[in-house]
């Protein structure tokens, strides 16, 4: 890229305003505003299509915001900043005007990072104490945007949390190989918005799609050196810009078009009745530790944006395992996060967020403080407090595992649910009471702090770990493709390969694997709480045993639409439909154990396989591997959207992780003549009607769901 600089004589800089931060076009020109309380000077750098730079000093400063207004600067203009000040890493200062920096508030980016053009504030090859004197122009540039978009007719689905079924997916992987999507749109926001993809998601029955990070991220040099990339994207560079990697417009040379393309995708999903939830990473940035690149925050105001070690501010606190942690104790960093969240809700119209390593955001000093400024501000915000808020309730720091400890209005990825369900279906004993809690919304974790069952985001698989198919195919990770000697990824997978490691032609083992996948899906979707399906699990997606495919932007991670397990897909659709059809399976309130009719019928009754009520001895017996859960249809204690009392069929859920078939006696109810089978994980085509009080055969490692038929 040329390094020619033009003198700033063609356009006269006006004072402008300190708010809003970022680049704001008003139809006649653009206001630029950048926060830096420790800088000695700031230059706005405009770039033309040939890469020629024009510098404009920002001489106005208000409350640490450097600002100025340029007439006739219009959407499409590329820009960056050079920030002057001390280069003194030992005191936490890393200013270097030789580095062109990305605006933290840029709404669109010119492209991806270019390491060959320089991204380091120090001289690579040594320590970080020697300032770089060569030109460093490898960071993406910001692009001025026109924010106008026609949202006429867009209506947010506003699906109540307790009725939600979440589908975790990657924008690129979801559509990259889909044969019915035009090749130019595969792997993009526009590809998700096509008819074939929307029809698929609607027919599946999910109510929300939770996208892995779409904020522009960085591809780490150590991955690029191995011919790999940061596919998952948990290395945020910009908290406002949709990643150009997933933009069909950017592929055509129009990177700022990614903004409207993303909005079009959101509108299309809303039209299909599907909410959009973003996986967001506000706990750290792509700039890494003291040896990482200088792309934006580090060179603009390092002490403001990062948690530095007080005794030696050259170094960073790292609660995330990525090299740094954002300094959420600083008001400006909190404002950055809140402005970003508000932007994605108001301008991009998303419906919620899943916060990666959310415990990091709660940290005051070292401890996790659930009343930290971050949560207080969110709860007071009239916009953000009204969308779906989901925490990944852990980080890698001391005391970072906080499942069950987040505030009211927050839902949580329930890692305890995942581990208990995996262990149960693996055949481990002593889990009866734990499974009882997990199937009923984890009241042990959420009932006593004002939350409801839907606060528990239930999942058995997610992007991090085995897929569902791999969890019944592999007991050990197979991550050789990552180039780390199979040393990366979890070793504690709680998986069972059904007798053979990896793929096999053995029909009996494959049948068992299919049944186990159905067991996981059935318990996930028929229990209380908010279910989250890992995208692709419903079609039998495999990663060949890779449980850490973060760097695999290829067929390992992409959906294989040419080899769909059609029977498993039909089963998943059926179970989702059953969940949505029966309010007893997605209650807003925890069970109370109250009597509904007669002395023996309660809203919930736990049964042994002989039809008797579970006793304390049964719950504590390590050999208990089967459970029956009776749900009284008159025990919902709830109303519908019109205020009418909710009623449902009486339902009976049976599950057994035993390796032998069991005779299971169905409840003998005066109000019930027959039990009609709705679902059997051992036989997709099973049909059965049994008189009340009689026995059925509960196959080894299977789930059955019945409804009471009266008259």
Query: Which of the residues are catalytic?
Result: 356, 392
Indicate the helix (H) or strand (E) that contains 55: strand 53-57
704: three-class secondary structure by DSSP: strand
Distance, in Å, from the CA atom of 678 to the CA atom of 149, rounded to the nearest integer, reads 46
Q: Please confirm whether the linkage preceding 271 is cis (ω < 30° from 0).
A: no
58: three-class secondary structure by DSSP: coil
**Total residues found in the chain within this entry:** 711
Indicate the helix (H) or strand (E) that contains 198: helix 195-204
How many alpha carbons fall within 13 Å on the CB side of residue 683? 10
Distance, in Å, from the CA atom of 9 to the CA atom of 5, rounded to the nearest integer, reads 12
631: three-class secondary structure by DSSP: strand
Strand order in the sheet with 651-656: 604-607, 626-631, 651-656, 702-709, 674-680, 689-691
Nearest to 704, CA basis, from 645, 638, 630 = 630
Q: What phi and psi values does residue 198 have, to the nearest 5 degrees?
A: -65, -40
Read off the tokens for 495.
């998986």
Distance, in Å, from the CA atom of 115 to the CA atom of 83, rounded to the nearest integer, reads 20
Q: Which residues contact 523 (CB under 8 A, 6 or more apart)?
A: 421, 425, 439, 655, 703
- Give Cα 21 distance to the centre of its chain: 27
Distance, in Å, from the CA atom of 607 to the CA atom of 167, rounded to the nearest integer, reads 32
| DSSP per-residue string spanning 433-491 | HHHHHHHBT-HHHHGGGT--GGGEEE-S--SSS--HHHHTT-SS---GGGTSTT-SS-S
């Amino acid at each position: 890229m040329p390094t020619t600089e033009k003198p700033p004589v063609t356009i006269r800089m006006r004072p402008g305003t300190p708010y809003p931060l970022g680049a704001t076009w008003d139809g006649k020109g653009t206001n630029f505003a950048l926060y830096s309380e420790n800088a000695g000077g700031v230059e706005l750098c405009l770039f033309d299509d040939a890469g020629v730079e024009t510098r404009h000093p920002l001489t106005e400063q208000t409350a640490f915001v450097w600002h100025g207004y340029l007439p006739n600067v219009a959407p499409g203009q590329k820009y960056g900043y050079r920030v002057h000040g001390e280069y003194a890493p030992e005191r936490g200062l890393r200013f270097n005007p030789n580095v062109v920096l990305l605006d933290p508030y840029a709404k669109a980016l010119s492209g991806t990072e270019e390491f060959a053009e320089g991204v380091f504030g120090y001289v690579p090859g040594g320590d970080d104490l020697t300032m770089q004197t060569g030109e460093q122009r490898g960071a993406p540039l910001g692009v001025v945007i026109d924010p106008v978009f026609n949202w006429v007719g867009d209506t947010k689905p506003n699906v109540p949390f307790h009725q939600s079924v979440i589908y975790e997916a990657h924008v690129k992987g979801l559509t990259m190989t889909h044969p019915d999507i035009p090749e130019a749109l595969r792997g993009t926001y526009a590809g998700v918005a096509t008819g074939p993809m929307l029809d698929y998601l609607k027919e599946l029955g999910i109510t929300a799609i939770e996208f892995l990070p779409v904020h522009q991220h960085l591809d780490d040099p150590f991955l690029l050196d191995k011919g790999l990339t940061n596919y998952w994207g948990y290395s945020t560079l910009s908290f406002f810009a949709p990643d150009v990697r997933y933009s069909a417009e950017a592929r055509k040379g129009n990177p700022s078009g990614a903004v409207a393309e993303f909005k079009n995708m959101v509108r299309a999903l809303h039209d299909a009745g599907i909410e959009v939830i973003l996986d967001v990473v506000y706990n750290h940035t792509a700039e890494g530790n003291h040896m990482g690149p200088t792309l934006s925050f580090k060179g603009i105001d390092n002490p403001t944006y990062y948690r530095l070690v007080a005794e030696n501010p050259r170094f960073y606190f790292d609660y995330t395992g990525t090299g740094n942690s954002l300094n959420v104790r600083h008001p400006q960093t909190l404002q950055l996060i809140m402005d970003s969240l508000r932007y994605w809700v108001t301008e991009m119209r998303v419906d919620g967020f899943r916060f990666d390593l959310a415990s990091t955001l709660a940290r005051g000093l070292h401890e996790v403080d659930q009343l930290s400024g971050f949560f207080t501000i969110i709860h007071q915000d009239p916009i953000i407090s009204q969308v779906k808020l989901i925490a990944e309730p852990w980080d890698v720091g001391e005391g970072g595992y906080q499942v069950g400890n987040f505030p009211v209005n927050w839902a949580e990825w329930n890692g305890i649910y995942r581990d208990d369900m995996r262990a149960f279906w693996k055949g481990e004993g002593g889990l009866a009471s734990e499974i009882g809690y997990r199937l009923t919304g984890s009241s042990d974790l959420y009932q006593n702090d004002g939350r409801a069952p839907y606060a528990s985001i239930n999942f058995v698989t997610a992007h991090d770990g085995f897929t569902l198919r791999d969890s019944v195919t592999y007991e050990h990770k197979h991550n050789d493709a990552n180039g780390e000697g199979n040393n990366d990824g979890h070793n504690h997978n709680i998986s069972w390969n059904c007798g053979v490691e990896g793929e096999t032609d053995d029909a009996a083992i494959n049948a068992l694997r299919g049944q186990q996948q159905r067991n996981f899906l059935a318990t996930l979707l028929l229990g209380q709480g908010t279910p989250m399906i890992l995208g692709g699990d419903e079609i039998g997606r495999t990663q060949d045993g890779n449980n850490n495919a973060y760097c695999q932007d290829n067929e390992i991670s992409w959906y294989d639409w040419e080899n769909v397990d059609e029977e498993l897909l039909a089963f998943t659709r059926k179970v989702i439909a059953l969940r949505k059809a029966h309010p007893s399976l997605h209650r807003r309130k925890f069970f109370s154990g109250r009597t509904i009719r007669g002395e023996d019928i309660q809203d919930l009754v736990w049964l042994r396989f002989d039809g008797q009520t579970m006793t304390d001895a049964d719950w504590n017996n390590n050999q208990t591997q089967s459970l029956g859960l009776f749900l009284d249809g008159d025990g919902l204690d709830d109303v519908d959207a019109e205020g009418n009392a909710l009623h449902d069929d009486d339902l009976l859920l049976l599950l057994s992780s035993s390796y032998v078939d069991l005779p299971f006696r169905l409840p003998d109810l005066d109000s019930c003549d027959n039990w009609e089978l709705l679902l059997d994980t051992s036989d997709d085509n099973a049909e059965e009607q049994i008189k009340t009080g009689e026995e059925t055969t509960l196959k080894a490692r299977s789930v059955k769901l019945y409804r009471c038929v009266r008259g």
